[in-house]
Amino acid sequence: MVNSQWRALRSKVGALLPIVSLAISSFGAVFGVLRYFDILEVIPSGLVALAMLLLWATLLLLSVKHASEDRYTSARDILKRLNYPPGVIGIQKVMFATNRRMTDTVEGTSLDLEKITHHFQTWLYYGRAWVTIPAVHRIGTVERPRRIWKSLWLLKEAEEPAKHFTLAELSRLKESDFFEEISQASAKSALVFVHGFNVSFSDALFRAAQIGYDTNFRGEVIAFCWPSRASVELYDADRERALASHYALLDLLNDLRRKASIENIFLVAHSLGSQIVVGALSAINSRLGEGALGVEELVLGAPDVDRDVFVSSGDFIKSAARGITIYASSADKALIVSRLKAGGVPRVGDVPPDGPLLIQGVDVIDVTALGEDMFALNHGVFISDRSVLDDLGRIITSRTRPPHDRTTTLRQVPPHWRELAGRTAPDYWVYPR
């Protein structure tokens, strides 16, 4: 924290030095003119000193405002650069860290998506994306071009800012600039999104932008983009890359605290991304010590994690996060694929006939009734229902527990748990059909 504060102070002083020099020079020049014309003999010296001090202070304040406005690109700057495209209702900044290999890229410059591969590497690249939000946006949806049949051809819609989420700007940043920019934010909070199976780099940015925008998150939105192959047929390849990515995520979470002075981390993961999160949080005690990250809330959407692995890591996970919520579903497409690969054995995010996996201190919410694909792009059933997004927003803003106190539509299971001896809470919660 001290290092980040020192870097921030050093950068501000560096930005002010030219203006301070100008102020001192102006002071000397005006003072010399006054002496040359013997004006100092007429005006009391105290008044002259006061006037010079006011001039110097004004220049200094202007320099501070200038430095703070120009230090980082703002959303307004991006929209100006785009000439305020019609049909765009807003723009969301997404910082990103990725262990995808990049080719022919330079830190501090714009980035082409074609330079970002699906190959795994052990270190992280950092950057910033600006994502435009279309006026037709519905909460919970990432509007992207669809493939449509035209005559006998399957064509893809043209991307339009008025209809779709688009990348207005994509830049690669130096590691030091990445964490310094985050440290300059007024809200010392970060929402870190870890995407799931079958997700491209750009789709991960769009989903992170949508979650940040729809939940009206006031802190920094950060996407951890691991090298998914973005193909349903390559589930096994994605699983291997997910298993190898947890140390990279752990380094990111640790550096957000250590280098960017982030105080509250809200960690949201889906599908195989939950496997990365569980691996990272399980490794905390061995590398950083208990409670080192201070994750405020951990939210796992349809986590594709082996049940035995999750149970054995439960104590580590609970010590790393103050609150834990699992959205489970028996209809999630990614989980269905995973269950088949595992020989029909349910995963943590699954809801078999005898109910979901229950762990003391973890809130489990069955969202099967809301649809069949959690956090999927262009899906009109689950994602068009804003219930889960509303609940997620309440978790972030109020951190209210138990869940039925923040979202009253949730049904408690068993319904008469208060009548049972020794019970202090329901087993889990269900969205009604």
Tens digits of residue pLDDT in 186-208: 889 999 999 998 999 999 999 99
Banded pLDDT at 316 (limits 50, 70, 90): confident
Structure confidence at residue 11 (pLDDT): 44
pLDDT band for 23, please (50, 70, 90 cuts). low
Distance CA 129, CA 170 (A): 5
Q: Name the 3-class secondary structure at 384.
A: coil
Question: Residue 385: what pLDDT?
Answer: 58
- Predicted pLDDT of residue 384: 42
pLDDT of residue 395: 93
**What secondary structure does DSSP assign to 149-185, as a single string?**
EETTEEEEPPP-TTTS-EEEEEEEE-HHHHHHHHHTS
Average of per-residue pLDDT across 148-177: 86
pLDDT at 351 over 80: yes
Instruction: Fill in the amino acid letter for 30.
Output: V
Write down the mean pLDDT value for the chain.
Answer: 82
36-40, 226-230, 388-392, 406-410: which range is least confident on average? Answer: 36-40
How much is the average pLDDT of 382-391? 68
Residue 341, classed as helix, strand or coil, is: helix
Q: Is the pLDDT of residue 166 over 90?
A: yes
The pLDDT value given to residue 403: 95
The two tokens of residue 311 are 């149970």
Instruction: Give me the residue spans of the domains in the chain.
Output: 2-71, 77-430
Q: pLDDT tens, 73-129?
A: 677 777 777 777 789 999 999 999 999 999 988 887 889 999 999 999 999 999 999
Sheet with 295-301: strands ordered across: 166-173, 116-134, 88-102, 220-225, 189-194, 264-270, 295-301, 321-328, 363-366, 428-430, 411-413
The percentage of residues in the chain with a pLDDT greater than 70, rounded to a whole number, is: 77
Residue 249 has pLDDT above 90, yes or no: yes
Q: What is the DSSP code string of 193-233?
A: EE--SS--HHHHHHHHHHHHHHTT--SEEEEEE------GG
Q: Per-residue pLDDT for 36 more than 60?
A: no
Q: Evaluate if residue 70 carries a pLDDT over 50.
A: no
pLDDT band at 30 (very low <50, low <70, confident <90, very high): low
Per-residue pLDDT, 77? 78
- Tens digit of each residue's pLDDT (9 = 90 or more) over 253-268: 999 999 999 999 999 9
What are the helix and strand counts (H, E) for the chain?
13, 13
Average pLDDT estimate for 242-263:
95
pLDDT greater than 80 at residue 162: yes
Q: What is the mean pLDDT of residues 369-392?
A: 63
49-66 in b/e form (b: 16+ CB < 10 A) is: eeebeeebeebeeebeee
- How far apart, in Å, do the first and last CA atoms of the chain sit? 48
The amino acid present at 244, given as its one-letter code, is A
- Whether residue 279 contacts residue 22, with contact meaning beta carbons closer than 8 Å, is answered with no
Q: Is the pLDDT of residue 412 over 60?
A: yes
- Domain 77-430 fold is Rossmann fold (3.40.50)
Which long-range contacts link 22-26 to residues 24+ away (Cβ below 8 Å)?
22/59, 23/55, 23/56, 23/59, 23/60, 24/56, 26/55, 26/56, 26/59
Which of 49-63, 254-268, 323-337 is the least confident region?
A: 49-63
Strand, coil or helix: 402: coil
